[in-house]
Amino acid sequence: MQLSCSVPKFEFDVITMGHGSGGLLTHRLLQSGVFDILKNDMLDQQHDGAVFELSGKLAFTTDSYVIHPVFFKGGNIGELAVNGTVNDLAMCGAIPRYLSLSFILEEGLKTTTLGKIIQSIKLAADKAEVQIVTGDTKVVEQGKGDKIFINTSGIGTLHPQAQIHHNRIASEDAIIISNSIANHGIAIMSQREGLEFETDIVSDTRPLNHIVNKLLDDFGADIKFLRDATRGGVASVLNEVAEITGLGIEIEQAVLPVEPQVEGACEMLGFDPLYVANEGVFIVVVKKEIAEKVVSVLQNDQATKKASLIGFVNSQTPKKVLLKSKIGGRRVVNYLTGEQLPRIC
């Protein structure tokens, strides 16, 4: 699939407070660079909301994106905002359909920056096969925001075979990770002021809905639980699962997929990859009997080719996540404490 989209050309060079007035400047900003790029029947109505017909079980999710820097290795806040919300819907077992898009712009933002972000939003939406159907634009004074914050909310229709729920997780279930971890966090970190270092590591931001859809097509209700390991990393997701189910989890360090370069950067910075944010990696919990098959389907897809069975659920260590280290010892993996990587998404 070859997607393309031109960069919008705004009639203004920088964003001013007037672009958030709801009056003429807001209108001209949207007309010149937003509506023509994101164009579709529903958005063209320019009403207070979009109206469409959908039936059955729906999923609904929201996320605000405040990532810093706005442009990073492997992506920018625009595609991140689309992919992140698409992925949250996919994790519910839903097929993403419609997104909303809401900007909080800082006065003084260059419209060339905004244009590139809108172009990325359009390309990411096309790639994920979702439509942006409604939106909002606000402007805050210089020093009261940080270039651009984006909220995307999304609606999806549940895959007919999906039965994703934490209460379906049972002892002996297998825990699969979809790809190698910690790339996103390390890519962002390498660009932060005071920390810059040379690296080829890029963010793993990507839409996961197509591969999740394939898993649900192939395995249906045998896919018990899905969760993307974003902020807080794999460790936080596993702790949430342990806490809400009351069960224990044990994973094995030796089979955790981490790229050597990422592992090196983590060592240098003193980070444990289990706590570093991802954008295109998810945890799948399945019956252990089908674990190998699920891993093999994942490994056949470019987005998840490093998929690995990393451990199992148990009833012996309730609410605890344990890691069996490479040298055979076991340690508790807690929630991320403090703030390792602020504004990572």
Find the binding residues for its own copies in span 249-268 (CB under 8 A). none
Q: C-alpha distances in angstroms, 88 versus 21, 92, 183, 212?
A: 32, 7, 19, 11
Smaller CB separation from its own copies, 168 or 299 = 168
Q: Does 192 bind its own copies (CB under 8 A)?
A: no
CB 142 within 8 A of CB 109: no
Exposure pattern of 174-201 as b/e (b: 16+ CB <10 Å)? bbbbbbbbbbbbbbbbbeeeeeeeebeb
Could you tell me the two tokens for 267? 């060592």
Which residues from 299-328 bind its own copies, rule CB under 8 A?
A: none
Question: What sections of 137-259 are H helices per DSSP?
Answer: 183-189, 209-219, 233-245
Could you tell me the two tokens for 281? 């990696």
H or E stretch including 266? helix 260-269
Instruction: Select the span of 150-158, 190-198, 210-218, 313-321 touching its own copies (CB under 8 A).
Output: 150-158
Minimal distance, residue 248 CB to its own copies, in Å: 18
Smaller CB separation from its own copies, 200 or 339 = 339
Q: Does 142 bind its own copies (CB under 8 A)?
A: no
CB 344 within 8 A of CB 187: no
Q: How far is CA 124 from the centre of its chain?
A: 12
Of 81, 95, 101, 297, the residue at the interface with its own copies (CB under 8 A) is 101
Smaller CB separation from its own copies, 7 or 243 = 243
Question: What sections of 273-328 are H helices per DSSP?
Answer: 291-299
Of 72, 103, 219, 312, the residue at the interface with its own copies (CB under 8 A) is 103
Smaller CB separation from its own copies, 127 or 147 = 147
Query: Which residues does 222 contact at the CB level (< 8 Å), separation at least 6?
Result: 286, 287, 290
Smaller CB separation from its own copies, 127 or 227 = 227
Q: Which DSSP state fits 16?
A: -
**Three-class SS state of 221:** helix
Q: What region, left, alpha or beta, does residue 240 occupy, with left being phi > 0 and alpha being psi -120 to 50 degrees?
A: alpha
Binding string to its own copies for residues 268 to 297, with x set by CB under 8 A, is what? Answer: -------x-x--------------------
Minimal distance, residue 287 CB to its own copies, in Å: 20
Minimal distance, residue 301 CB to its own copies, in Å: 20
Of 114, 155, 294, 323, the residue at the interface with its own copies (CB under 8 A) is 155
Q: Does 343 bind its own copies (CB under 8 A)?
A: yes
Query: Which residues does 27 contact at the CB level (< 8 Å), separation at least 6?
Result: none
Which residues from 19-38 bind its own copies, rule CB under 8 A?
A: 20-27
Q: Does 124 bind its own copies (CB under 8 A)?
A: no
Minimal distance, residue 296 CB to its own copies, in Å: 25
Instruction: Select the span of 163-171, 200-208, 300-308, 313-321 touching its own copies (CB under 8 A).
Output: 163-171
Q: How many residues bind its own copies (CB under 8 A)?
A: 90
Minimal distance, residue 50 CB to its own copies, in Å: 5
**Three-class SS state of 268:** helix
Q: Does 5 bind its own copies (CB under 8 A)?
A: no
Instruction: Select the span of 91-99, 251-259, 288-296, 317-325 touching its own copies (CB under 8 A).
Output: 91-99
Q: Does 9 bind its own copies (CB under 8 A)?
A: no
Which residues from 43-82 bind its own copies, rule CB under 8 A?
A: 45-66
Which residues from 214-233 bind its own copies, rule CB under 8 A?
A: 227-228, 230-233
Q: C-alpha distances in angstroms, 241 versus 30, 142, 196, 237?
A: 42, 41, 34, 6
CB 119 within 8 A of CB 153: no
